[in-house]
Amino acid sequence: MRIYQEGNRLVIAEGKSAVWIEPWGANSLRVRMSAVPQMDANDWALTEKMEDITPQIAFEEIDVTDPWYRGEAYAKYHQRAKQARITNGKITAKVSHEGWISYYNQRGELLTEEYWRTRDRINRYCVPLRVVARELRPLQGGSDFELTARFEAFDDEKIFGMGQYQEKNLNKKGAVLELAHRNSQASVPFMVSSRGYGFFWNNPAVGTATFGTNKTEWHARSTKKLDYFITAGDTPAEIEAQYSLATGRTPMMPEYGLGYWQCKLRYRTQDELLAVAREHKRRGLPMDAIVIDFFHWTMQGDFKFEPLDWPDPEAMVRELKELGIETVVSVWPTVDERSENFGRMSDMGYLVNADRGNQNHMTWMGNTVFYDATHPGAQKYVWERCRENYYRYGIRCFWLDEAEPEYGPYDFDNYRYYAGPALQCTNTYPVGYAKGFYDGLRAEGETDIMSLVRCAWAGSQKYGVLTWSGDIYSSFRAMREQLQAGLNMGIAGIPWWISGR
């Protein structure tokens, strides 16, 4: 094993594998590990440009004695070894001569450390379990890996964040969380610890996070590298600020977004919607936005009004604006095989593919396929259809539904995106979905941008998403669960959030 400095980076190298530890914003470090010679270049959510920081990197030589050898062998295994540390403001990573990493704050207090149950020549104990803290296990016959990262557990630790899960506990200590999106579940893998650090699992692969009493474990079913961000601070606010600097800050919400939104399932016609808006205003009731929900369209994937029920959307939007009401239109990522856009999108590679079986991803109200929101061309194509059929009438706020996307069933091992196999990157889908509309609206000169979205991942916040909690059940139990879900979404860096029905 070799431990050495490479520019501003501390490197732990052994065989073909390498671990990079480097500063990533104030009081923060990014840690990556590859099991092949070339580190995967995907930055996933850590795409914000960070200031160049020169960390303090120091090395120390120590005596290493292996007590299991005696006589001549003892002298042979009594040698000098190197250990190192890298400090960036309030956080220090110490690397033992065995390559084990532990993290400390500016007062020298332990924040967290890796979980190893193997031989330790310094402390003179041997654990025969052979459990390592960083494990990239090759998937047979391919170039991808199953990843497990393990950290020590602390009895006094409380863990908050991680996104939106339908359960009752605000504190996630003791929880096992699926790292995958489903209708009403949004996995946003950033946590804030009561021990004074924040941790972001920068990996959109399907997996699990386990905050056990014996260890903390992060797992990805298929990936190319280990990648995480860890930050230290004196307050949760400081930790959140450092995390949002790395993944993107949330813009200011438009004024109308803070007002009263009128919505139901569903307004079937233009006349019905206008009658409700007019009556509200006649009675002096507030209304800042009104939502035109699903199946106002001709066909899923056409991205336009059904002219029989919505004959003059331009006049409708104009009247609503005169009443002080913003029009919000629902968009689904589903493309029906009968849609006028299906052939073109299929030819251009703008649809999600299935590795086996038929290509239908959802069969509710038609055989449909999701468009590939990880594909820049597909993002632009869908926005262009919405610009032609909605934006030009004055509609500037969109309800981006089905944003997980809601596969039926959630066979993640069967789907493939422009960005790679769904097992490796599906959690970025809602980010690309929101980005396509954000970029399109910005290109049109809009500045107060907001999209109502049914799911989010790290980085979604910078695209002006107002996340809602999905199709939850109407019960007191569900209402209780939404309280912690909303709080933990905010802690995970998605501050604009509302509860579903």
Up-side HSE of residue 188: CA atoms within 13 Å toward CB? 32
Q: How confident is the model at residue 128 (pLDDT cuts 50, 70, 90)?
A: confident
**Per-residue pLDDT, 66:** 56
Region 144-150: mean pLDDT is 98
Q: Are residues 346 and 383 in the same domain?
A: yes
Write down the H helix ranges in 165-210: none
Structure-model confidence comparison of residues 130 and 436, the more confident one: 436
**Per-residue pLDDT, 65:** 63
Q: How confident is the model at residue 129 (pLDDT cuts 50, 70, 90)?
A: confident
* Total tally of structural domains belonging to the chain: 2
CATH classification at residue 227 = 2.60.40.1760
Per-residue pLDDT reduced to its tens digit, 16-51: 999 999 999 999 999 999 999 999 999 999 999 999
Residue in the structure block whose two tokens are 């980076």: 9
CB of 138 within 8 A of CB of 130?
Answer: no
Asked if residue 317 belongs to a domain, the reply is yes
Cα–Cα distance for residue pair 466/183, rounded to 1 Å:
16
Q: Are residues 280 and 226 in the same domain?
A: no
Asked if residue 492 belongs to a domain, the reply is no
Put residue 454 in one of left, alpha, beta given phi > 0 → left and psi -120 to 50 → alpha.
alpha
Catalytic residue chosen out of the listed positions 401, 402, 406, 481: 401
**Mean pLDDT over all residues of the chain?**
94
Q: Which residues contact 165 (CB under 8 A, 6 or more apart)?
A: 175, 177, 185, 485, 488
- State yes or no: is 120 an active-site residue: no
Secondary structure element (H or E) that encloses residue 210, with its range: strand 207-211
> Is the model's pLDDT at 285 over the cut of 50?
yes
Q: Are residues 205 and 272 in the same domain?
A: no
**Per-residue pLDDT, 69:** 46
Q: Are residues 339 and 371 in the same domain?
A: yes
Q: How confident is the model at residue 343 (pLDDT cuts 50, 70, 90)?
A: very high
Amino acid identity at 356: R
Asked if residue 283 belongs to a domain, the reply is yes
What percent of the chain shows pLDDT beyond 70?
A: 95
Cα–Cα distance for residue pair 201/204, rounded to 1 Å:
8
Q: Are residues 97 and 138 in the same domain?
A: yes
Cα–Cα distance for residue pair 332/354, rounded to 1 Å:
19
* Listed residues 449, 468, 486: the one ending a domain: 449
CB of 361 within 8 A of CB of 368?
Answer: yes
Asked if residue 225 belongs to a domain, the reply is yes
- State yes or no: is 240 an active-site residue: no
* Listed residues 247, 272, 290: the one ending a domain: 247
Q: How confident is the model at residue 118 (pLDDT cuts 50, 70, 90)?
A: confident
Domain enclosing residue 332, as ranges: 255-449
**Per-residue pLDDT, 279:** 98
Catalytic residue chosen out of the listed positions 372, 404, 406, 481: 404
Q: Are residues 329 and 348 in the same domain?
A: yes
Write down the H helix ranges in 28-186: 72-76
Q: Are residues 273 and 334 in the same domain?
A: yes
Asked if residue 344 belongs to a domain, the reply is yes
Residues facing 220 on adjacent strands: 147, 207
Asked if residue 168 belongs to a domain, the reply is no
Q: Are residues 294 and 375 in the same domain?
A: yes
Q: Are residues 441 and 324 in the same domain?
A: yes
**Per-residue pLDDT, 80:** 74
Cα–Cα distance for residue pair 251/247, rounded to 1 Å:
13
Structure-model confidence comparison of residues 78 and 485, the more confident one: 485
> Is the model's pLDDT at 121 over the cut of 60?
no
Q: Are residues 288 and 226 in the same domain?
A: no
Model-level pTM?
A: 0.95
**Per-residue pLDDT, 362:** 84
**Per-residue pLDDT, 127:** 66
Q: Are residues 44 and 69 in the same domain?
A: yes
**Per-residue pLDDT, 88:** 98
**Per-residue pLDDT, 120:** 60
- The CA-CA-CA angle for residues 153, 156, 162, to 5°, reads 65
* Listed residues 413, 428, 449: the one ending a domain: 449
Start-to-end Cα distance in the chain: 55
The most distant pair of C-alpha atoms in the chain lies apart, rounded to whole Å, by 97
Per-residue pLDDT reduced to its tens digit, 171-220: 999 999 999 999 999 999 999 999 999 999 999 999 999 999 999 999 99
Tokens of 463: 């695209």
Name the least confident of 1-15, 120-134, 148-162, 171-185. Answer: 120-134
Residue in the structure block whose two tokens are 């092949």: 36
> Is the model's pLDDT at 375 over the cut of 90?
yes
Closest CA to 442 of 494, 399, 400, 380: 380
Q: What is the torsional sign of CA 29, 32, 37, 39?
A: negative
Asked if residue 435 belongs to a domain, the reply is yes
Q: How confident is the model at residue 154 (pLDDT cuts 50, 70, 90)?
A: very high
Cα–Cα distance for residue pair 286/501, rounded to 1 Å:
20
Amino acid identity at 495: P
Q: What is the torsional sign of CA 346, 349, 355, 360?
A: negative
CB of 431 within 8 A of CB of 457?
Answer: yes
Q: Are residues 73 and 215 in the same domain?
A: yes
Per-residue pLDDT reduced to its tens digit, 58-106: 999 988 765 544 455 545 555 678 899 999 999 999 999 999 999 999 9
Closest CA to 12 of 4, 91, 40: 4
- State yes or no: is 372 an active-site residue: no
**Per-residue pLDDT, 241:** 98
CATH classification at residue 380 = 3.20.20.80
Residue in the structure block whose two tokens are 């996070």: 209
SS (H, E, C) 39-54: CCCCCCCCCCCCCCCC
Region 118-140: mean pLDDT is 78
Cα–Cα distance for residue pair 290/277, rounded to 1 Å:
8
Cα–Cα distance for residue pair 130/57, rounded to 1 Å:
30
How many H-runs (helices) and E-runs (strands) does the chain carry?
9, 30
Asked if residue 167 belongs to a domain, the reply is no
